[in-house]
Amino acid sequence: MEETISLRDLFAVLRKRLWLIALITIIAATVSGVISFFVLTPVYESKTQILVNQAKNDEQLYNTQTVQTNVQLINTYNDIITSPAILDKVIKELRLDMSAQSLSGQIQVTSAQNSQVAQIVVQDTGAKRAAQIANTTASVFQKQVPKLMNVDNVKVLSKATVGESASPVKPQPLLNIAIAVVVGLMVGIGLSFLLEYLDNTLKTEQDIENILDLPVIGIVTNIKDVPKPTNVSRPDVAARVPQRGETYGS
């Protein structure tokens, strides 16, 4: 006989294991919140923008072919900015206790499509240090790129600054907790169905009707804590043992 599962059965399983789903979800959200607020180190982000051109005069600056060449060279500039040739000087100038490879992992260079403007994005555990690294990287690149390539016009469009109330970009506790809640629900629901699938015991008369397809004729109840019989005597009718020579009723 083919076994089918209806939505009513699915909701019955969820209702039966609701405590397990809620427990796993609460534990996941709590662990995520504790890790986000008390374990993970806040990371701050700072940005600076630079404009790179190969020509200084206006006629060449607005030449379509020249602009297209500058756009194609943006990827090359990105590699140069994160290379040891630039980052070693940044580390030396700021006296950072890290290697060029480690610092490169904190720097990301991006640019919009068909744009000659490159954006240097730096992430660090200190907001002030992130701004210093971004500005120093742009400054060192501006000085060193003419020696490395045929580029004679690098301008810093905007410098990185530190606001009075700088907020970290990660971790994001609310987002982490929301993700943990979703994951906890998924794990709880999956575990509930798994436990229900592995449970092959018959617990109720409804299980007998559904699985064995037999009608339930009667139910044997479980009698617990049956009180023991006690002898009750009346104080005004006390039994008296007759003495020698006496008979009952005398």
pLDDT at 71 over 70: no
Q: What is the dihedral of CA 97, 100, 105, 109, to 10 degrees?
A: 120
DSSP 237: S
The pLDDT tens digits of the residues spanning 226-244 come to 566 666 555 554 555 555 6
Question: So what's the pLDDT on residue 66?
Answer: 60
The pLDDT, as a whole number, for residue 226 is 55
* Banded pLDDT at 1 (limits 50, 70, 90): very low
This prediction's pTM:
0.66
Pick from 133, 132, 112, 108: which is nearest to 121 by CA?
108
Cβ contact 152:146 at 8 Å: yes
pLDDT digits (tens, 9 = 90+) for 150-208: 666 778 888 888 877 778 888 899 999 999 999 999 999 999 999 988 887 777 777 77
What mean pLDDT is predicted for residues 46-72? 65
* pLDDT of amino acid 151: 67
Residue 127, burial from CB neighbour count under 10 angstroms (0-12, 13-18, 19+): buried
**C-alpha angle 136/137/143, rounded to 5°?**
90
Span 39-54, average pLDDT: 87
CA–CA separation, 1 vs 48, rounded Å? 70
Q: Is the pLDDT of residue 85 over 70?
A: yes
